[in-house]
Homo-oligomer: A and B are copies of this chain.
Amino acid sequence: MDKVKIAILGASGYTGVELIKILLRHPHAEIVAATSRQDEHIADLHPSLLGRLDLRCEPFDADKLKAKGVQLAFGCLPHGNSMESIPPLLERGIRVVDLSADYRLRDVKVYQEWYKESHTDTANLAHAVYGLPEVYGDAINGAKLIANPGCYPQTAILGLAPLAAKGLIELSSIIVDSKSGVSGAGRTPKLATHFPECNESVSAYSVGTHRHTPEIEQALADIAGKPVSVIFTPHLMPMDRGILSTIYATPTRTVTEAELGDLYREYYVGKPFVRIRKTPPATKDTLGTNFLDVCVKVVRGKVVVIAAEDNLIRGASGVAVQNFNRMYGFDERTGLM
């Protein structure tokens, strides 16, 4: 089988390098271009790639990417940048998996409210598919533009999907308390992520204002068929990678752990990357993998769900490849096990 020719847009960050590492093992992918404002060899930006990928980064140019035969681009650009770069690619017939937030929220008003910017590409937004395979699987298969889901939202959405689908929880009092490794903050140095500041420390940030809130609500509302409101509190943990979300919900009727365990196992049958655990997962159990581990408990009448993932793999680059696999009809596990 011919390999799909791939470009990585914005290859200098952490999601870029993780994508490259996954794709280097993928039997049906060939990385033919990487773009960056830093006009350097990819191994100078990421020494770990030395001897693994011989490619020089280039400035973004849709025509040049097309000329190289690029069929699919993974967008690792910041939000705002993405919706500028992606339209010319789609026009040239290049499919896109966008890891930014630009195409995740269907309602541009919601986008503007949370991202404080106008949306400039509503045309493509209209056909973008939210790339959470376990929920939107079939729509992904033929899509031209995938809005790859956010790292935190996946833990919340997949952690609650079986309950929301069955109407088993109140939808207005969900609490998502999430803990993330520092790589989630990106590769640009800042005081908050300077080692001696965040090491040996835990803190909450963006309390009540984090932009992943409406993304969680949109997907859970899709699943439940009703509006959803969540309180979402992200925390920074002193570690490289991993997200653990502890989710609190009020059941609409009395439930048992055994019953909920069965419900979850059934819901995720045939979905190889969601593992239902009997004991609470540690983020380390998912490190370097595309698995999302979920454990559901009942505590004093409340439902407590614990969901863990690697924020750079499952939370970004791994699920992006899972989406790519679906778009091209490959087994969705290809390159990811």
Contact = CB atoms under 8 A, between A and B. Distances in A.
A88 interface: no
B187 A194 contact: yes
Contacts of A237: 179, 202, 237-238
A297 B231 CA distance: 12
B285 A48 contact: yes
A273 to B, nearest CB: 8
A282 B207 CA distance: 13
Interface string A98-139: 000000000000000000000000000000000000000000
B197 A194 contact: no
Contact of A193 (B189, B238, B297, B299): B189
Interface stretch (A55-63, A219-227, A242-250): A242-250
Contact of A248 (B47, B231, B289, B300): B231
B24 A337 contact: yes
Interface string A191-203: 1011111111111
Contacts of A289: 48
A17 to B, nearest CB: 11
Contacts of A267: none
Contact of A282 (B179, B194, B201, B306): B201
Contacts of A196: 14, 181-183, 187, 193, 240-241
A150 to B, nearest CB: 18
A304 interface: yes
A299 B220 CA distance: 19
Copies of this chain present: 4
A260 to B, nearest CB: 13
B306 A204 contact: yes
A20 to B, nearest CB: 12
Given A199-B239, A244-B235, A288-B288, A208 B299 contact: yes
B235 A300 contact: no
A205 interface: yes
A240 B238 CA distance: 11
Contacts of A323: none
A51 interface: yes
Nearest to A200: B239
Contact of A235 (B179, B194, B285, B291): B179
Contact of A47 (B207, B231, B282): B282
A149 B246 CA distance: 26
A18 to B, nearest CB: 11
Interface in A221-273: 229, 231, 233, 235, 237-242, 244, 246, 248, 272
Given A204-B306, A283-B203, A231 B277 contact: no
Contact of A207 (B280, B283, B293): B280
Given A189-B191, A337-B25, A203 B282 contact: yes
A92 interface: no
Interface in A40-68: 47-48, 50-52
Contacts of A244: 202-204, 235
Given A194-B194, A240-B196, A246 B231 contact: no
Report, nearest first, the 6 A-B pairs whose CB atoms are least far apart: A208-B299, A201-B284, A203-B282, A189-B189, A182-B195, A47-B285
